[in-house]
Amino acid sequence: MNTAMAVIVLLVCSDVIYMIQGGGIQYPRCRCPKVHTGGVNISLIRKLTYYRPRSHCSKEEVIVTLKTRGSLCLDPNGNFAKTLIERQIKTVFSPPSTKHQMMEFLV
């Protein structure tokens, strides 16, 4: 009985130490730890998402969701990402030619 109690106390103490060190608390952070500096085949891009600097991430982030179900972080200062963002802004803020285009925020 004493051995079982010692094991329980040891497990509780290790959990408390883990929580104190921040292991159990997930703080929001940047979505892109690494960025892709090259280009991407435009026909593979399903969606473009742009994040401005926020309180928990001081960087701009450009994320493209691919038709292959993956996603890729682009360098927001790179020419390719800047071109994509400019093209997206023109598409979104121009009068839509069809109802379908109005509802989708795609590249």
Domain ranges of the chain: 28-103
The pLDDT of residue 16 is 64
pLDDT one-digit tens code per residue, 6-25: 778 777 767 767 666 655 55
Give the fold, CATH level 3, of 28-103: OB fold (Dihydrolipoamide Acetyltransferase, E2P) (2.40.50)
pLDDT one-digit tens code per residue, 46-86: 999 988 898 888 999 999 999 998 999 999 999 999 998 88
Nearest to 81 by CA among 26, 32, 9, 8: 32
Is residue 46 packed enough to be buried (19+ CB in 10 Å), middle (13-18) or exposed (0-12)? middle
- pTM of the predicted structure, to 2 decimals: 0.59
Average pLDDT rounded to a whole number, residues 92-106? 53
